[in-house]
Amino acid sequence: MQRQPLVIANWKMNGNRLLTSQLAAALREQAALLNDVDVVICPPAVLLPSWQQEVFYDAVHLGAQDANEHAAGAHTGEHSLQLVSEAGADYVLVGHSERRQLYGDSAVRIQAKVAAILTHAPQQLKVVLCVGEQEQERANGDTVKVIEGQLAEALANVSAAQLAHVVIAYEPVWAIGTGKTANPQQAQDVHAFIRNWLQQQYDAAAKTVPLLYGGSVKADSAPALFAETDIDGGLIGGASLEPEAFLAICRAAQARRS
């Protein structure tokens, strides 16, 4: 089964309107080379309207880096699904390790966010669920146990039909922003585990779920990672702030189709 390659830019708390125009222009220029890859940009939420204007006619999707699980109310500083959706987001990242570690995204909240996103109407949003082990957990041989626990908690109430709106990003915490990429075999092993786990829980529905690798992916490391059977694309932090590098990574994902 051929899944469409997918590359998601996670700008984190970086970027501005100038970089929005620059990256949008670079994507437009290369559009013909990116016919078979889905590109999603997750800027800081306040930049979503600028991005929405820039890519209105283009085949670029937008995403939010996070959203609150409640519909509205007294949640100072938070954004609802309705708001990010109105601002153009089709995707929402959930459970990024920085949110798990620094901003109180517990397993319970992550499960609530996944549920809220998948039942959000009328717009259908997609969840990008991030999972990953810490360096010490890998050293202890617990990688698979940690990933399984994160998947089981986050997807506890997700049906096979809803799984069609889920993307999973494997991001080893020790590789995020550190320059230490997992090697293609390490990444493939975990991706194969995730694919098998999904298959056990969801049977045929598991085949369509894009599995992304994230953690210091650069233009030079992307081709070998994306050549692996179960790596359908990437979640890109630092390199998504450099239009040339990001475009090279998108082309490497596109190469999965040729």
Q: Which of 238, 246, 249, 253 binds ligand PGA (CB under 6 A)?
A: 238
95 binds ligand PGA (CB under 6 A): no
Report in angstroms how near the CB of residue 37 gets to ligand PGA at its nearest. 17
Binding piece for ligand PGA, criterion CB under 6 A, among 47-55, 158-166, 198-206, 215-223: 215-223
The answer to whether 39 and 62 have CB atoms below 8 angstroms apart is no
Binding status of residue 215 toward ligand PGA by CB under 6 A: yes
- Is 153 among the catalytic positions? no
Per-residue x/- track, 36-75, ligand PGA (CB under 6 A): ----------------------------------------
Q: Is 124 a binder of ligand PGA (CB under 6 A)? A: no
Task: Please report whether residue 216 would count as binding ligand PGA according to CB under 6 A.
Answer: yes
Among the listed residues 54, 61, 79, 96, the single catalytic one is 96
Give the burial string for 90-100 (b: 16+ CB within 10 Å, else e).
bbbbbbbbbbb
Q: What are phi and psi of 227, to 5 degrees?
A: -80, -15
Whether 171 sits among the annotated catalytic residues: the reply is yes
Q: Are 111 and 157 in contact (CB under 8 A)?
A: yes
CA–CA dist 42, 92 (Å, integer): 8
232 near ligand PGA, judged by CB under 6 A: no
- Cα separation, 158 vs 162, in Å, equals 6
By CB under 6 A, residue 171 contacts ligand PGA:
yes
Number of residues that bind ligand PGA (CB under 6 A): 13
Exactly one of 54, 171, 228, 242 is catalytic; name it. 171
- Burial of residue 9 (CB within 10 Å: 0-12, 13-18, 19+) is buried
User: Does 177 help bind ligand PGA (rule: CB under 6 A)?
Assistant: yes
Region of 44-52, 171-179, 183-191, 244-252 interacting with ligand PGA (CB under 6 A): 171-179
**Nearest by Cα to 28 from 5, 55, 50:** 55
Active site residues: 96, 171
Residues at the contact surface with ligand PGA, assessed by CB under 6 A: 10, 171, 176-177, 214-217, 235-239
